[in-house]
């Protein structure tokens, strides 16, 4: 077994019982076993889910909040910088865990591990100003006004498997900065990466209860978010799960819920596109992380004048993709496997959906010959003459390495294609005409709209979130901090001149 899980983390320590046999643990806990998606014979870890810990973790977070909310921003900042130092020293270890748990190539996993530490700087430099207290002098005669930001309370961060450290870390740091305690509930598929992240917070010396980790299932999540003491719920994942979170919270107005959901993302290639530039950008958009990014490009609206040349060059580039084990490889892979067997089944089902709904497959790559048996799939490219809202193939999120070209004649038609799905996360337009780009900015219903750049790889210094079914208008990244605070107004005067006789309507 590659890794050892230490159990849930609360009250400043991990809870795995010392001196208790594995048999005793298995009798009291639900067991989850994780194998590497890149090598199904490589056992990574066993997890033992103890549902009795949920209430203990919540109590720990409540206690931690009472301590943390009273700390100054300077004290919080000091500990966040200490966390950064420790996470930097563990970058290689974190990257290896991410690679083995998710199947992402090591070079890509190292990028994510590096983003964990870089996020501290972004949070302190760019997010902090958004939540500073403000004073407005003479807001009324002889009265000053104050705008005060207060932490909302114990908060749950529900992390995704595709970026098990980076995405959750951004939400955790924003909430910590403003004085909230955190319960981190990672994906069941990437528990060890999450543990390494929490180890860094532990070694940095955060007070007991400020950082908490709970490994669990849907049952764990539901119990957490329904608890009345939980005030923040920050989730990154699928539309279906996002809806279940909203259903569980219901009419509880005391909770802040911020959802980052899926996408059916479109790239527009206008007639003046620089094709040699667009092809590598499309490779990133469609196939990085084996297409398992919420911002991955799924539909490619290509102008009819450049359609044949661009598709041919893109096909030839896609044929060059190396697919292999993320760490043990002869040549550096562009793609690893998808996360699990369910992801393979979903991908194959999507390809069947394409076939049934008029999409023609124009690239069927051979199955990769890998050293190990794993959840490997190949990139595929389709072509369809017209994108219609009634066609389920143009509606469903793929979350796999597939894209589909659809031709268009004018930019208005391309914008229609971009808006055809019920998602609205990311879009890109490739053109040398700034007026075309400005038209896309105005009319495309999406939270991210890029010019001459892929839909993946957003900046942490900008808001990250979508519209329609891609979120609930609470974008993450730099603006994540906005949802970790409540706003209090205060009127202040030192003028003690009020007199009862100044009031009207009183008897003499």
C-alpha 91/C-alpha 149 separation (Å) is: 34
pLDDT in tens, 421-439: 999 999 999 999 999 999 9
What's the confidence (pLDDT) of residue 20? 47
Indicate whether 456 pLDDT > 80: yes
In terms of DSSP bridges, do strands 448-451 and 476-477 run parallel, antiparallel, or are they unpaired? Answer: unpaired
* pLDDT of 25 higher than 70: no
Phi, psi dihedrals of residue 236, rounded to the nearest 5°: -125, 120
Q: How far apart are CA 297 and CA 381, in angstroms?
A: 12
Q: Quote the mean pLDDT of the chain.
A: 96
Confidence band of 483 (pLDDT split at 50, 70, 90) = very high
Percentage with pLDDT > 90 across the chain: 94
Q: Would you place residue 411 in the very low, low, confident or very high pLDDT band (cuts 50, 70, 90)?
A: very high
**Catalytic positions:** 260, 294
Task: Identify the pLDDT of residue 369.
Answer: 84
* Residue 22 scores a pLDDT above 60: no
| DSSP secondary structure of 252-315 | -TT-EEEEE----EEEEE-TT--HHHHHHHHHHHHHGGGG-STT-EEEEEEETTTHHHHHHHHH
Phi, psi (degrees; rounded to nearest 5) at 72: -75, 160
Q: What is the mean pLDDT of residues 363-373?
A: 84
| Ranges 300-304, 374-378, 384-388, 495-499: which has the least confidence | 495-499
Each residue's pLDDT tens digit, 77-136: 999 999 999 999 999 999 999 999 999 999 999 999 999 999 999 999 999 999 999 999
pLDDT tens digits for range 49-59:
999 999 999 99
Confidence of residue 23 (pLDDT cuts 50, 70, 90): low
Distance from the first to the final alpha carbon of the chain? 88
What average pLDDT score do residues 336-342 get?
A: 98
The torsion angles phi and psi of 246, rounded to 5 degrees, stand at: -65, -40
CA distances from 254 to 48, 220, 282 (A): 32, 20, 43
Q: What is the pLDDT of residue 19?
A: 46
Q: Which two tokens stand for residue 483?
A: 């949802």
Name every residue whose Cβ is closer than 8 Å to that of residue 283 and which is 6 or more positions away in sequence: 314, 317, 318, 321, 334
Can you give the pLDDT at residue 17?
A: 54
Torsion-angle region of 291 (φ positive above 0: left; ψ -120 to 50: alpha; else: beta): left
pLDDT tens, 166-224? 999 999 999 999 999 999 999 999 999 999 999 999 999 999 999 999 999 999 999 99
How does pLDDT run across 350-362, given as a tens digit for each residue? 999 999 999 999 9
Please report the pLDDT score of residue 286 as a whole number: 98
Count Cβ neighbours within 10 Å for each residue of 80-119 and write b for 16 or more, e otherwise.
Answer: bebbbebbbebbeebbbbbbbbbbbbbebbbebbbbbbeb
| Unique residue bearing structure tokens 């130092």 | 85
DSSP assigned state of 128:
G
Q: What is the pTM of this model?
A: 0.95
145 pLDDT higher than 70:
yes
Convert 56-72 to b/e letters by CB count within 10 Å (16 or more is b). Answer: bbbbbbbbbbeebbebe
Does the pLDDT at position 26 exceed 90?
no
């Amino acid at each position: 077994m590659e890794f050892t899980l230490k159990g849930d983390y609360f009250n400043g320590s991990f809870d795995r019982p010392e001196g208790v046999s594995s048999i005793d643990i298995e009798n009291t806990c639900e067991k989850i076993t994780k194998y590497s998606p890149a090598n199904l014979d490589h056992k990574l870890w066993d997890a033992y889910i103890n549902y009795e810990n949920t209430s203990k973790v919540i109590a720990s977070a409540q206690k931690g909040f009472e301590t943390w909310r009273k700390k100054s921003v300077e004290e919080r900042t000091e500990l966040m910088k200490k966390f950064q130092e420790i996470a930097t020293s563990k970058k290689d270890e974190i990257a290896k865990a991410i690679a083995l748990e998710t199947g992402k190539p090591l070079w890509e996993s190292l990028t994510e591990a590096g983003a964990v530490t870089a996020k501290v700087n972004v949070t302190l430099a760019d997010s902090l100003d958004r939540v500073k207290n403000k004073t407005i002098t003479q807001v009324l005669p002889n009265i000053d006004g104050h705008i005060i930001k207060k932490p909302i309370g114990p908060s749950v961060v529900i992390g995704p498997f595709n970026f098990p450290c980076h995405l959750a870390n951004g939400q955790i740091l924003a909430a910590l900065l403003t004085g909230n305690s955190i319960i981190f509930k990672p994906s069941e598929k990437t528990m060890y990466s999450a543990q390494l992240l929490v180890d860094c917070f532990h070694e940095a010396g955060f007070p007991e209860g400020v950082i908490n980790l709970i490994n669990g299932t849907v049952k764990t999540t539901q119990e957490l978010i329904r608890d009345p003491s939980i005030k923040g719920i920050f989730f990154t994942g699928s539309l279906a799960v996002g809806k279940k979170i909203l259903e569980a919270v219901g009419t509880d107005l005391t909770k802040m819920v911020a959802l980052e959901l899926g996408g059916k993302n479109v790239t527009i290639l206008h007639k003046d596109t620089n094709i040699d530039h667009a092809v590598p950008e499309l490779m990133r958009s469609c196939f990085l992380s084996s297409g398992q990014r919420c911002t991955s490009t799924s539909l490619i609206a290509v102008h009819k004048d450049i359609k044949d040349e661009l598709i041919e060059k893109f096909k030839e580039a896609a044929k060059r993709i190396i697919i292999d084990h993320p760490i043990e490889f002869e040549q550096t892979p562009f793609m690893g496997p998808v996360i699990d067997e369910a992801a393979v089944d979903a991908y194959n089902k999507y390809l069947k959906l394409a076939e049934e709904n008029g999409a023609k497959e124009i690239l069927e790559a051979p199955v990769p010959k890998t050293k190990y048996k794993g959840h490997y799939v190949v990139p595929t490219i389709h072509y369809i003459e017209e994108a219609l809202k009634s066609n389920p193939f143009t509606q469903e999120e793929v979350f796999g390495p597939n894209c589909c070209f659809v031709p268009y004649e004018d930019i208005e038609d391309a914008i229609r294609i971009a808006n055809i799905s019920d998602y609205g996360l990311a879009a890109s337009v490739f053109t040398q005409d700034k007026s075309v780009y400005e038209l896309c900015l105005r009319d495309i219903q999406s939270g991210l709209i890029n010019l001459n750049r892929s839909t993946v790889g957003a900046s942490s210094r900008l808001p990250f979130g979508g519209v329609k079914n891609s979120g609930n208008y609470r974008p993450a990244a730099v603006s994540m901090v906005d949802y970790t605070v409540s706003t209090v107004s205060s009127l202040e005067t030192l003028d003690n001149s009020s007199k009862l006789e100044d009031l009207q309507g009183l008897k003499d």
